[in-house]
Structure 1
Amino acid sequence: MVALSNFTRINEIVLLRFPSSTESEGTQSSRSSSKTLAGGAGATPETILLLSWGDAASKHIEKYTNMYTKLYPNARIILVRGGVADFLYRSNSAQRKLVSPAVKILSESADESTLLVHVMSNAGSKTWSTINKLYLETTGRALSNAVTIMDSAPGRWRFVQTWTALSRSLPRAFVPRMALSFVFGMILCAIQLKDYVTPGLDILDSVREQMNNTKGMAKKGSRRCYIYSDADDIIGTGDVEEHAKEAESKGWAVELVKYTGSTHVGHYKQDSERYLDAIRKTWFGGSK
């Protein structure tokens, strides 16, 4: 795994970046301002929790970490990398153990008023779910109290879209690609069969439900922005809009930013200024 610039690796999925010495000259005063004015004029996030999409390459994730170091240079960034393993074979206990360092850092903060959460795709949503459960147990508060950016998420478990997502994480070499394609295909078929014969929510429906669960909600009006596209071949627009509508009905302040023609998690690439504007407006309370 290629290292990301200026990040300290905590374990195989959690990385931490503090502001550099030149960036952090005003960190102490900025954090004090954030704690008293969070979401108001002059306040900036103290911590950014970035939950990446499935098995994303470091060079692609770095576009977003660089974006945040420029946008909010005094914020520390907790990066948690999601992937295929969390859906197909990594146990819940193993997932909880891996995210526990991130939860520890978050739990040491006073509350969610100085936290900005950025969720990317279904893998980021699944990571959010694992972190939230442990965070709720630890603090009694939900991660959904924080200002949250939802990029290409959350979707639903559909065979074709799920296979499309998984195929992008396969190696390019022919033999291992074919071998893993067969293995993943069999696993997906087994999951699909299980969903037909076993009652209850599937993985992504469970994640979607938890994201809109009011348990641990400190107050109504927490801000959330959904950034999505009509051309996403993995996350359907209807799935995003349905989740956003439910969130709004339960008390979240919701903003929808719909792109035209951008690919899955490709909205920042298509129009970076619009993307940045959505983040700024959501943090500062510009959402309706």
Structure 2
Amino acid sequence: MNAAPKHIDHYCRTYMCLYPSARIILATTNTKEFLFQSEARRRTDVKEAVSAILAPGQANERLFVHALSNGGTKRMYAVAGTYQALTGKALPAKAFLLDSAPGIPQFRRDMHALAVPVVKWPLYLWLPYMAVSLEIVLVVFVTVNWMPKWNFVPMDCARGYIYSKEDLAIDWKDIEKHATVAENKGYTVVKKLVEGAEHVQLFKGNGGEKGYWDFVERLWGMAMADREAQPETL
């Protein structure tokens, strides 16, 4: 959410190096869309992404989904929901990586996460923004991120969770609980706790870039049961 172009570029370039033959479908979001956008508008906004997945000749592609933070997770659900509405089927993802997500409402963490993009606003704008945002987020976080529609992705979709205890926006315990629920539902789950990393900056923690991207490749390898397999769509 509110990702800077240079950060988007970093992820895209790294994926291009790891999987040079893969298509990359990028879906972003910002604070305004995350908090106030209606479900109908949200699905309209992701239609291009869904159209790319459904493009002619792509039926046999293998899909890897990487969602960062609650904003990215919510965007992924919009894509999956739109795909399901159009096709009657779950999004055909083989692997789903949840990066620094999902989390449930906690006042201190929510204040931190929501304040970051508007930290330079004058106080007379900042205060009402935070008041309205927190009221809405109590509903949004729970209904969209903590209680997702599990049938949006198939049971053979491997789930990866990468997170840290130093994350001030998302509680690592919430992520581990979510992973446990996924395991209990029968999903293949793999987790990585990164020490010394901040929210959506896990490649800067212990293990660095190599440890982070090794986990990405490990998840895809589990999904394909073949360490040399490459996704065609990211």
> Shorter chain as normaliser: what TM range?
0.7 to 0.9
Q: Which residue of 1 aligns with 2:202?
A: 267
Q: Does 1:110 align with 2:45?
A: no
1:147 equivalent among 74, 92, 95: 95
Q: Does 1:225 align with 2:160?
A: yes
Written as runs of structure 1 = structure 2, the 5 A alignment for 1:102-141 is: 102-108=49-55, 109-110=58-59, 114-141=62-89
Give, as a single letter, the amino acid of the residue that structure 2 aligns with 1:169: P
> Structure 1: which 5+ residue stretches go unaligned?
1-53, 196-201
The structure having more radius of gyration, on CA atoms, is 1
Conserved? CA contact 2:62–2:93, under 8 Å: no
Conserved? CA contact 2:50–2:79, under 8 Å: yes
What is the Cα-based RMSD across aligned positions, in Å? 2.3
Distance, in Å, in 1 between the alignment partners of 2:164 and 2:77 is 23
Distance, in Å, in 2 between the alignment partners of 1:212 and 1:148 is 14
TM-score by length of 1: 0.70
* Structure 1 residues 122 and 135, CA gap change in structure 2 (3 angstroms): same
1:249 equivalent among 168, 184, 195: 184
Conserved? CA contact 2:68–2:98, under 8 Å: yes
Give, as a single letter, the amino acid of the residue that structure 1 aligns with 2:170: I
Q: Which residue of 2 aligns with 1:214?
A: 151
Q: Does 1:285 align with 2:232?
A: no
> Structure 2: which 5+ residue stretches go unaligned?
226-234
Distance, in Å, in 1 between the alignment partners of 2:92 and 2:70 is 16
TM-superposed deviation, 1:185: 1.6
Q: Which residue of 2 aligns with 1:160?
A: 108
Structure number having the greater strand percentage: 1
Tell me the percent identity. Answer: 31
Give, as a single letter, the amino acid of the residue that structure 1 aligns with 2:115: S
Written as runs of structure 1 = structure 2, the 5 A alignment for 1:43-54 is: 54=1
* Structure 1 residues 274 and 177, CA gap change in structure 2 (3 angstroms): farther
TM-superposed deviation, 1:213: 1.5
1:80 equivalent among 12, 27, 44: 27
* Structure 1 residues 230 and 212, CA gap change in structure 2 (3 angstroms): farther
For 1:218-254, what per-residue CA distance to the aligned partner results, in whole angstroms no more than 9, with x for missing partners?
xx33211100001111111110001101111112110
Conserved? CA contact 1:159–1:188, under 8 Å: no
Distance, in Å, in 1 between the alignment partners of 2:92 and 2:64 is 10
SS at match of 1:149: strand
TM-score by length of 2: 0.85
TM-superposed deviation, 1:287: 9.9
2:126 equivalent among 177, 181, 188: 181
Q: Which residue of 1 aligns with 2:231?
A: none
Which of 1 and 2 has higher RCO (CA within 8 Å, sep 6+)? 2
Conserved? CA contact 2:94–2:156, under 8 Å: no
SS at match of 1:79: coil
TM-superposed deviation, 1:141: 2.3
TM-superposed deviation, 1:186: 2.2
